[in-house]
Structure formats: structure tokens, C-alpha cells
Structure 1
Amino acid sequence: MIIQLTHRTLLKLTGSEVQSFLQGQFSNDINVLEDGVIQLNAYCQHQGKIMALIWVMKRADEYYLSFSQDLSTEIVKKLTMFKMMSDVTITDVTEALMQFGVVDETVDGAFVLNANQSIALTDADHGFELSTASVWEESCIANEVPEVELVTVEKFVPQLLNLDIDEVGVNFSKGCYPGQEVVARLHYLGKSKRRMRAFECDGEIEVGDELLVTNSTSAKASGIVVRRVKLASKSLCLATVEIAHEDDEITLNNSQKTKLTRIHND
């Protein structure tokens, strides 16, 4: 199944200092990135909260950054500001290259995201028979691929989105990047009390909706919806939740008090 990803910005970065520049900006180890794979990175502010989740792809000496389109203006602004006088050129190629999400298929030249998903960057649709956007979202939820949108900017540290597990999105030995000290401190203090989990329900869900757990003593909401998809008979979502109460009665803090049921796929 192939889905055109129409709501993602795509930047191309080139120049003799582009690798070292990205190494100093993002949470993962850019220096070990190989051609043909997608490396998940958090772009954090100084308190370790995520401003954007970036898919980084490498093709020879070119680097491609893909992220939620509603964050484009701010992320391009920050990258441009921090590159200063470095030999780095940032080009928005969103209109020049199409982004296709590939689920359980093989497309030549696609970048591998995980065992079930990859991303193809092409200048034409090559006659692909396209599936709907919900197919991609359902696959992302099944594979626990998080996202940060405008409504959830600076709502999460990497641990809340499971980016520290197996260092899938955070490398703890790579060196400095914005927010690195906070992220590392949380890591070495011990296990995170909140994690991202998959849920289903019969009602509507929106990204940014808050979760309420009946047995929680937290003064704040017990979690936040990270991404969601509406299917014919139900909705699926990824959401952060207190681990101690992940299987308790959980509702959304909305007018319907929609009840969530955890999907045990972790």
C-alpha cells in the first residue's frame, strides 16, 4: 500500500558542514546514519521539550529532513538561525519531491523506517495506486511511530514518546544538542513514569486531547493524544499515559468522556 504524504515539509540540506551541523542540532547520532534508512530525531528546545520530530534521510552527500508541515515556518527559521556562517544550504523541496509512505511493500530507492514502513521520495507519482491517508496513520499507530504537530509542540520530552527505548530516537553518547543535558538527566535518573501507548475507542479523538485516569493522583491530566486515526467502526490513537495506570479506566477530557481501551502491542 502506498500513500502520498501531503502534510509533510521536505527540506534538502547540502554543504561541507551539513553533517556536523545536524549532529549539533538533533537528538540522534547523525554520524552513523547510512543511506537508505530513516533516522528518527527529536529537535528539542533548551528544556528538552520537543519542537519537532524529524525524519532524517541521507543520499550521498545530501540530507533530507521530513516533518509535520504545520511546523515548517518555525523549524526552517531555527535551522537557518543556527547554521549562521556554516557551509550549509537549506532548500525547501516540498513542491519538487513527492513523499510517499509505503506499507508492507517494496519500492526501489525507498528509505526504510521500520519492518513495515518506508518512505519514497520521487519527482513523479510513477503511476502508484494510492491508498488513503488513514492507511498510513493506522500503520504508524500499529508500529508506534510518534508525531509532533503544532498543537503538541513542547508538550513532550523524548522519553514520553519512547524515543529513548533502544535509542531509537535519542543517542545518549553522541554529545551536545539543544536540551541534551535535561534529556540525559531524565535518562540516568531512572525509568520514565509516563510512556506512549496505543489505544482504541468508539468515539472521536483529536491530537492534543487530554487523558484522565480515574485512579491517578496527578494534579494534571494523565496523558495527551499524540496521533489518531478514525476508522469505520472505531478510532485508534497513540497517547502518553502514566505507566502505573495504563490499564485503569481512562477517558478523554472531552464533553463525551470518551473511554479508551489500551491495545496490548507493546
Structure 2
Amino acid sequence: MFALPDHHVVTLRGRDALAFAQAQFMSDVAALADGHWQWSGWLTSKGRVIALFALLKADGETLRLVLQDVDPEAFAAQLQRFVFRSKLVIEPGGDLRVGGTFEAHSSAAGPRAAIDHEGFALDFGGDGGVRTLHAGAGLAAPADADALARWAAFDLAHGLPRLPASQAEQWTPQQLSLERLRAYSVKKGCYPGQEIVARTHFLGQAKRGLALFECDAPLEAGQQVTEQDRTFGTIVATVETRGQSLALAVLPLEPAASAPLAQGHPLRPASLRGGLAR
């Protein structure tokens, strides 16, 4: 096992935790069975993604969010502003630490989690292989930069954007192709940004989505993708592994007329893998 220092757990606990999450997050939390998890996220009122996370329903009054690349204290403080009279507490961090393995778990499979008194495990595998996310009280796992880069590359290869702060609140779920992960609902009812998400879905107005690229040069989120001297899209997530860059970019759905570039460097299209949806 190796440490995932860019992953953090936030807990929602209390009588109204489920109803609160259903009203705030973009997935259908009410449809989750105890001990199961799904991809989800929190949107601005304009339908832009603030954060993506794995959402585990531990029981009828306890939800665990596994945030990626988001400060848990800041996230919890921002979410707390909408609690009002709801009966729940939002607990950022705590003693739960997160680690990963590129191995299957004996109990966690697909959307079914493995939960015990010390923490939980989630099946984070997909078509590219097996892996398990572990969260536990005081979990001690060594740092491993190569394994961490491999983990992030697995995310990107399966269409899970690892959004840095510069890309938060910039993109709608459709622009990030989050339907591939079944991370949002257009039928469950109101939540922040729901009107924009539903309108885009039902009117067929989604004009951009995710594309995966490889490049021999270093890339950064926020760089423009160009073709034939025009801006064609934007890189939203990158990772360097095995001497090359892997990048997710938001592009128009119609194919480019010529080979795309980033900072003058050729981008090689790659196929997104499946199997990470829950």
C-alpha cells in the first residue's frame, strides 16, 4: 500500500445527512443502498463543478466523501454555509488517512464497499486493471511518487478528471463527460446547477466533452489546445508518467481538422477506458 496524500475524507453525519446530500450533490444519493458508493460532485449555481468525489453511504445517517485534489477544510466550510437548520455535522479530515493498492479487495467490488470499525475500502478498478482505495483511522502508508503518478494516470485514462484549483468552477458535468461515470442525475430533482445540467441534457446542447491525449513534452492544466492556428480546447488535467504526459482536454465534440497541439507540441489522441462507472 502507498499513501494518497491528495485524497481526503469528509464525513456527513446526522439525521438529515442523506436529505442534505440529496439536495446539494449532483448524483442520486437517495438511490444508494447502505454500504454502496457512487461518483458524485458539487456544483455552483451556474452548473460548474466545484469538486468531484466518491460518495459512500455507510448507513442511513453517515456519508463519507473521498475528495481528490480539494482542501477538505475549505470544502467543509463552504458546504457548512448551506446547512441552516438541518440536523447534521460536517467533519473534515479527522484521523482517516487514505492509501491505495493495485490489488483487488476480498470484499469491496464494484459499487459495494468494505466497511469496518477502522475505515473502509472502495473498488477503484476499471478496464485498465484492479486497484483499491483504503481509508482508515491512522492508516500509515509510505510515500511512493511513482505509484502516485500511476494512480493519477489510471484516473485520467478512465475519464476521471483530476482538477487542480485553476480548473475548479470552470466546467459543467457534460463538458467533463461525467455521464461516463454516472456521476450526475438529470431526474432526481433540484440541486445547485441542476437546471443548467438538465436543460443541456434534454435539449441536446452539449457541444464539448473530454478527450485523452499523450504527449512527449510536459503539459499543464489551463494550456490551450490548438489546430490550424486556432484555439480548439483546453487541457484540464495532466500527469507525467514513464517519460511522457497524459492529459485530459475539453474539446468540441466534432473532430479536429488537423493534428492538435499544445504549446506547439503534438498531441497524440488516445482512447478513454471504461469500467470506472459505479
TM-score by length of 1: 0.86
Contact 2:97-2:140 within 8 A present in 1 as well: no
Q: 1:111 aligns with which of 104, 122, 127?
A: 122
- Count the aligned residue pairs: 256
> What letter corresponds to residue 248 of structure 1 in structure 2?
S
Match of 1:148 in 2: 163
Where 2:246 maps in the other structure, the secondary structure is strand
Question: Percent identical across equivalent pairs?
Answer: 24
Match of 1:241 in 2: 251
Match of 1:17 in 2: 16
In 1: Cα distance, 2:99 partner to 2:141 partner: 12
Task: Give RMSD over aligned pairs.
Answer: 2.4
Alignment of 1:139 onto 2:154: yes
In 2: Cα distance, 1:260 partner to 1:247 partner: 14
Match of 2:118 in 1: none
Alignment of 1:265 onto 2:272: yes
> What letter corresponds to residue 87 of structure 1 in structure 2?
K
> What letter corresponds to residue 111 of structure 1 in structure 2?
L
Contact 1:39-1:113 within 8 A present in 2 as well: no
Match of 1:197 in 2: 211
Contact 1:107-1:120 within 8 A present in 2 as well: no
> What letter corresponds to residue 103 of structure 1 in structure 2?
F
Q: 1:183 aligns with which of 169, 173, 197?
A: 197
Q: Note closer, same or farther for the CA distance 1:35–1:200 as it changes in structure 2 (3 Å cut).
A: farther
Which structure 2 residues correspond to residues 80-119 of structure 1 after superposition, within 5 A? 80-92=80-92, 94-106=93-105, 109=114, 110-115=121-126, 116-119=130-133
In 1: Cα distance, 2:157 partner to 2:35 partner: 22
The CA deviation string for residues 201-249 of structure 1, in whole angstroms up to 9 with x for no partner, is: 0000112222123276xxxx42222222112331111121122135731
> What letter corresponds to residue 159 of structure 1 in structure 2?
Q
> What letter corresponds to residue 132 of structure 2 in structure 1?
S
> What letter corresponds to residue 46 of structure 1 in structure 2?
S
Q: Which moved more, 1:78-87 or 1:238-247?
A: 238-247
Measured after TM superposition, the shift of residue 104 of structure 1 is 4.1
In 2: Cα distance, 1:180 partner to 1:265 partner: 26
Measured after TM superposition, the shift of residue 24 of structure 1 is 0.3
Stretches of structure 2 that go unaligned for 5 or more consecutive residues are 108-113, 115-120, 274-278
Which structure 2 residues correspond to residues 218-229 of structure 1 after superposition, within 5 A? 221-229=231-239
In 2: Cα distance, 1:69 partner to 1:262 partner: 25
In 1: Cα distance, 2:69 partner to 2:152 partner: 16
Contact 1:3-1:136 within 8 A present in 2 as well: no
Q: Note closer, same or farther for the CA distance 1:231–1:204 as it changes in structure 2 (3 Å cut).
A: same
In 2: Cα distance, 1:265 partner to 1:86 partner: 40
Contact 2:3-2:141 within 8 A present in 1 as well: no
Stretches of structure 1 that go unaligned for 5 or more consecutive residues are none
Measured after TM superposition, the shift of residue 73 of structure 1 is 4.6
Where 2:175 maps in the other structure, the secondary structure is helix
Where 2:178 maps in the other structure, the secondary structure is coil
> What letter corresponds to residue 223 of structure 2 in structure 1?
D
Q: Note closer, same or farther for the CA distance 1:23–1:114 as it changes in structure 2 (3 Å cut).
A: farther
